[in-house]
Every structure is written in C-alpha cells, then in structure tokens.
Chain A
C-alpha cells in the first residue's frame, strides 16, 4: 500500500520568510496530492491540492510542486504570517483512500 513520509516534523521561520515542507510517496499509481492545515483544536482544512497531470499549482502565497519521477511533492509558503502557524499534513491517494503524512508543525515567529 501507499506510504507517505513528511519532513521536517517541526519548522520555525521568522515572519515574512518562506517555509517549505516536503513529502515523498511510495505508490507510483497515486495521482492526487492534497495539503491540509490544522490549527490547534480545529478541523483539517484543505488549503491546496495537485493532480498528477500538473507539475505546479499556486494560490496566492501558497504553492505546491510535484515531481512524479522522484515521487515527491512540496508545499511552499511565501511571506509567512503568524496565522500560518499550524500543523500541515500532506496526503496521497493510495488506492481509493488518502494516506496522510505524519505532519509538520510550523511556527511563524513574529
């Protein structure tokens, strides 16, 4: 089955800097890769996703890149703000279900 790894597990950046979170997956048949943001005590919220027929997708300060050959995808957040502080989960569609990465705790320091 699918296995998703995520790095780093924790990340601290200064406000205004960029943050990058990387995930790798094992199933070459996976074709959908969402990213979720989960604030403390809240639900996971879909912030961006990418399908395997696209190499990059951008939405304002957030972008995701996908390298199918290497089986890895990354989340890029530019001009970070304190409200970006949260746990971020990547996921890959393994079979018909999502497999989540273990999460990255992002702290944006003022």
Chain B
C-alpha cells in the first residue's frame, strides 16, 4: 500500500475558526511532511517530522500548529488564519528523512474567508 490519505478534501473556514487537517499512512514510513501549495506554484515545505519528532520548522507562522500523535498520523491545527493562507495543503511521507522517495497525499483544499 503506497497511499497517503488526507481529510477533509475541502475545507472552508472563517478567520476566527479553529480546524484541523489530518493525514495518515500505513507504509511504515518514519518521516512525514506538510507542504503548502499555491496555484501554479511548487509545493513549499512547512514542517517535517522524523521519528515523530519535529525536526524542522520553515519559519511558518504560529497560526499553523503541527502534531504527530504516532508514526502513522499527522495533524495540522489551524487557528486565526488569513485569506492568503488559502491553498492546497499536502501531506507526504517517506521511509526516512533524506534521500528516500516522498509520496504525497491528495491534499486538502483550504479556503479562508
């Protein structure tokens, strides 16, 4: 099974809402990633978890809060977002951080109103 799943597929939220994005993989991968992708742009790395520990934070605003409850799950908690945060949020996983292939989930299309 080489699949990464994400829920929800679409999310519309107001600037005062709190919501969470979820990601799951059952490939035994030990590295998981959150990317943000704006239209017609490449994915931009937001967070990396390696062996369930946050190993990098690419200077992402604190209104985005990641969580890795276990080796198969990854969450992204959202609070007080801005309209410019509207984007496709992609989760990815790899066998380990570094060289190995990254597999992407289908993404959550987020719209902030």
> Hey, which bits of chain A sit against chain B, CB under 8 A?
31-32, 34, 36, 42-46, 49, 51, 87, 89, 93, 96-98, 100-103
> Hey, which bits of chain B sit against chain A, CB under 8 A?
40-43, 45, 48, 56, 90, 97-99, 101-107
| Cross-chain contact B90 with A43 (CB below 8 angstroms) | yes
Prevailing SS type, chain B contact patch: loop
Q: How far is the CB of A27 from chain B (nearest CB, A)?
A: 14
Known: A43-B106, A43-B107, A44-B90. A96 touches B98 (CB 8 A): yes
Complex alpha-carbon distance, A43 and B104, angstroms: 6
How many residue pairs link A and B with beta carbons under 8 A? The number is: 41
Complex alpha-carbon distance, A100 and B45, angstroms: 10
Complex alpha-carbon distance, A96 and B100, angstroms: 10
Q: How far is the CB of B45 from chain A (nearest CB, A)?
A: 6
| Cross-chain contact A103 with B41 (CB below 8 angstroms) | yes
Complex alpha-carbon distance, A89 and B107, angstroms: 17
Known: A43-B107, A44-B90, A93-B99. A98 touches B45 (CB 8 A): yes
Q: How far is the CB of B113 from chain A (nearest CB, A)?
A: 20
| 7 A-B contacts (beta carbon < 8 Å) | A32-B99, A36-B104, A43-B104, A93-B99, A97-B45, A97-B56, A102-B41
- The residues of B that contact A34 with a CB separation of less than 8 Å are 101-102
| Cross-chain contact A89 with B42 (CB below 8 angstroms) | yes
Complex alpha-carbon distance, A92 and B38, angstroms: 20
| Cross-chain contact A100 with B43 (CB below 8 angstroms) | yes
Q: How far is the CB of B7 from chain A (nearest CB, A)?
A: 14
